[in-house]
């Protein structure tokens, strides 16, 4: 299904008057409104290829219908999102869930929807049908060198797919770890993992990056061999300049101060990118900003502060990706909400009066500092995000138009109710 631009134009025409009123008010409230709108237009968030179908848990999965049956249909669905918000201009593939059979054709199809390929993800947390060795006791950490080599070869294979697609980064998330005390020699597991990552690193093209994604627990429940930001930083430092850490918001222990971790990894010049989602308990992979919107704002507040301190390009210098799973929502509606929440948090962070905040901090005026931050968080910047969409040729209200056009109903009519897409 393709959304023609005239349908977006007539949707916007109906909302334009109300939008212009809100924009005029917001622009009168927010000093840097114009530069914020421009930054929002440039800001693109990659959509995970593994989150275009209905997710589930071990207790059940309730398919919603019309799910993409192939990589081609997944690219069409991301194309739909990008047509609606012009902020989802990249897709992040997971191998082998989405092996491009004909990379040239896949690349051409993506270009048709104005989509690029962001980081490619390897998968050594599941055993594939014709696999020689099992990853039951880990992959890069495994005590068995042949199993480590199998995992290394897979990652190098994934890099090859990425090169063909024009991607320039590899995300390595390892489910490796242990479930019981005594099961694992932590020192050997670390050294095996580092040695294996070095072999993968050596296969990276000159202009590529490798993101080492950490996670506190699941599927191992006693230790994870890349269990937190410190371990990921330790590997990234030892690997070299092309290695960075990746922050998945759901991969922290309860009450972790993620915005402080982000600030530190930025200062260490080892923050590579994000997997945005939200959670209340574990790695719940919920809609970004749906449970802890203030935390998402505080993370972007540290990102703007830290990136400007290093003169970084907000849109290009970090990997902005979503990693979510949809158990009860329409996957495309969920992703539209996540992109919107991320854009809002970014816009609020850009509206913070940095000079006044620094002054308050230098005067230990704790109350004033909080007032400045919360004033930004409490400022309704939705009109700025909508204006950025309007200028980019997208819909003023993507979710409303998605429903007006009965996109899900059309996809079900086209693909059927029982289709299942590869992924989580």
The yes or no reply on residue 50 touching ligand LRH (CB under 6 A) is: yes
**Rounded Cα gap, residues 236 and 33, in angstroms:** 37
In angstroms, how far apart are the furthest CA atoms of the chain?
66
Residue 31 beta carbon to Mn ion: minimum distance, rounded to whole angstroms: 36
The yes or no reply on residue 173 touching ligand LRH (CB under 6 A) is: yes
The yes or no reply on residue 424 touching ligand LRH (CB under 6 A) is: yes
Tokens of 191: 């050294």
Q: Binding marks (x or -) toward ligand LRH, 343..372, rule CB under 6 A?
A: ------------------------------
The count of residues interacting with ligand LRH (CB under 6 A) is 10
Restricting to residues 247-306, name those near Mn ion by CB under 5 A. 248, 275
Residue 300 beta carbon to Mn ion: minimum distance, rounded to whole angstroms: 18
Question: Assign residue 50 a region: left if phi > 0, alpha if psi is -120 to 50, beta otherwise?
Answer: alpha
Residue 323 beta carbon to Mn ion: minimum distance, rounded to whole angstroms: 4
Q: Which is nearer to Mn ion, 279 or 348 (CB)?
A: 279
Residue 173 beta carbon to Mn ion: minimum distance, rounded to whole angstroms: 6
Q: Which of these ranges, 63-71, 180-188, 233-241, 245-253, lies near Mn ion under the rule CB under 5 A?
A: 245-253
Restricting to residues 222-251, name those near ligand LRH by CB under 6 A. 248
Paired with 274 in beta bridges are: 247, 320
Restricting to residues 112-151, name those near ligand LRH by CB under 6 A. 121
Residues 6+ apart with CB under 8 A from 49: 71, 74, 78, 91, 92, 93, 94, 97, 98, 423
Pick the closest to residue 136 from 123, 127, 146 (CA basis). 127
Q: Which is nearer to Mn ion, 11 or 74 (CB)?
A: 74
Residue 20 beta carbon to ligand LRH: minimum distance, rounded to whole angstroms: 40
Euclidean distance between the first and the last CA atom of the chain, given in angstroms as a whole number:
23
Residue 33 beta carbon to ligand LRH: minimum distance, rounded to whole angstroms: 35
Residue 50 beta carbon to ligand LRH: minimum distance, rounded to whole angstroms: 5
Contacts 24+ apart (CB under 8 A), 276-282: 276/45, 276/249, 276/320, 276/321, 276/322, 276/323, 276/324, 276/338, 276/342, 277/248, 277/249, 277/250, 277/322, 277/323, 277/324, 277/338, 278/249, 278/250, 279/249, 279/250, 281/254, 282/217, 282/218, 282/250
The yes or no reply on residue 333 touching ligand LRH (CB under 6 A) is: no
The yes or no reply on residue 19 touching Mn ion (CB under 5 A) is: no
Question: Assign residue 241 a region: left if phi > 0, alpha if psi is -120 to 50, beta otherwise?
Answer: alpha
Q: What residue number has its CB nearest to ligand LRH?
A: 173
Tokens 């002054």 sit on residue: 359
**Rounded Cα gap, residues 378 and 55, in angstroms:** 33
The yes or no reply on residue 323 touching ligand LRH (CB under 6 A) is: yes
The yes or no reply on residue 98 touching ligand LRH (CB under 6 A) is: no
* CA angle at 172 for the pair 201 and 186, rounded to the nearest 5°: 90
The count of residues interacting with Mn ion (CB under 5 A) is 3
The interface partner of residue 209, options being Mn ion, ligand LRH, none and the CB cut-off 5 to 8 Å by kind, is: none
Binder to ligand LRH among 77, 213, 228, 334 (CB under 6 A)? 213
Tokens of 304: 């703007």
Note the residues at the interface with ligand LRH (CB under 6 A). 50, 121, 173, 213, 215, 248, 275, 283, 323, 424
């Amino acid at each position: 299904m393709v959304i023609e631009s005239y349908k977006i134009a007539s949707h916007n025409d109906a909302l334009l008057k109300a939008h212009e009123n809100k924009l005029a008010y917001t622009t009168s409230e927010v000093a840097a409104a114009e530069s914020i709108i421009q930054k929002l237009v440039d800001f693109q968030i990659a959509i995970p290829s593994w989150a275009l179908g209905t997710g589930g848990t071990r207790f059940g999965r309730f398919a919603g219908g019309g799910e993409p049956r192939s990589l081609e249909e997944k690219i069409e669905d991301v194309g739909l999102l990008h047509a609606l918000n012009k902020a989802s201009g990249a897709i992040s593939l997971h191998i082998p869930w989405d092996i491009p059979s004909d990379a040239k054709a896949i690349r051409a199809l993506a270009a048709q929807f104005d989509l690029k390929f962001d980081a490619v993800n390897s998968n050594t947390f599941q055993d594939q049908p014709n696999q020689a060795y099992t990853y039951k006791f880990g992959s890069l950490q495994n005590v068995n060198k042949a199993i480590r080599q199998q995992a290394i070869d897979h990652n190098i294979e994934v890099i090859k797919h990425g090169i063909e697609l024009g991607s320039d980064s590899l995300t390595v998330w390892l489910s490796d770890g242990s479930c019981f005390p005594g099961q694992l020699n932590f020192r050997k597991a670390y050294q095996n993992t580092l040695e294996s990552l070095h072999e993968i690193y050596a296969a990276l093209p000159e202009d590529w990056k490798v993101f080492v994604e950490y996670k506190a627990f699941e599927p191992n429940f006693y230790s994870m061999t890349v269990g937190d930001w410190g371990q990921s930083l330790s590997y990234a430092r030892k690997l070299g300049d092309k290695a960075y850490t990746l922050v998945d918001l759901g991969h922290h222990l309860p009450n972790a101060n993620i915005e402080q971790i982000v600030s530190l990894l930025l200062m260490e010049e080892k923050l590579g990118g994000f997997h945005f989602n939200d959670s209340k308990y574990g790695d719940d992979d919920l809609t970004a900003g749906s449970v802890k919107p203030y935390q998402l704002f505080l993370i972007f507040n540290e990102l703007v502060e830290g990136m400007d301190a290093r003169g970084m390009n907000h849109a290009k210098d970090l990997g902005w990706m979503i990693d979510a799973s949809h158990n009860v929502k329409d996957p495309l509606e969920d992703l539209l909400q996540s992109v919107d929440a991320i854009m809002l948090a970014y816009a609020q962070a850009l509206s913070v009066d940095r000079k006044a905040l620094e002054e308050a901090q230098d005067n230990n005026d704790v109350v004033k500092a909080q007032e400045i931050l919360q004033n930004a968080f409490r400022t309704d910047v939705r009109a700025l995000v909508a204006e950025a969409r309007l200028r980019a040729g997208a819909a003023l209200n993507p979710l409303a138009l998605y429903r007006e056009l009965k996109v899900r109903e059309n996809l079900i009519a086209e693909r059927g109710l029982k289709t299942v897409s590869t992924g989580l």
